[in-house]
Amino acid sequence: MDPHVVELVAPLVALVAVGTFGLIGMKMWLRSKVERQQLAGRRDMERLEESLYSLHDNMQSLRDQLGELHERVDFAERFLTQGGEKRGHKELDGTPPQGTPV
């Protein structure tokens, strides 16, 4: 083999080898980065799902409390309405009913 050809081909082979290994290394680095991001995305998704379930539970609790309050208000309205009819409407004006000591 001609020494001039070897002098020309050797740097080209080295350049191709360095480029190939560089591309392979870059591909591996990018793949690992993508996998890390996917893993982080899954973790974020799990956290979001947990937060969503927690919010659903809190919303159901608030609905239950609102239902209880609604029942109490209905009871208080019925109680006040029935009490007002039995005692007379004068009490509602701030005047005491008849026969009440002052």
Write the DSSP symbol of residue 2.
Answer: -
Give residue 15's domain range. 3-78
The pLDDT value recorded for residue 72 is 97
Asked if the structure places residue 25 within a domain, the reply is yes
Per-residue pLDDT of the chain (102 residues; tens, 9 = 90+): 677 888 888 889 999 999 999 999 999 999 999 999 998 889 999 999 999 999 999 999 999 999 999 999 999 999 999 876 665 555 555 565 666 565
Asked if the structure places residue 102 within a domain, the reply is no
pTM metric for this prediction: 0.46
Sign of the torsion formed by the C-alpha atoms of 97, 99, 101 and 102: positive
Asked if the structure places residue 48 within a domain, the reply is yes
Q: What angle do CA 32, 18, 33 make, to 5 degrees?
A: 10
Asked if the structure places residue 22 within a domain, the reply is yes
Task: State how many domains the chain has.
Answer: 1
Q: What is the DSSP string of 60-100?
A: HHHHHHHHHHHHHHHHHHHHHHHHHHHH-THHHHTPPPTT-
Whether the CB-CB separation of 17 and 23 falls below 8 Å is answered with: no
What is the average pLDDT value for the chain, to the nearest integer? Answer: 86
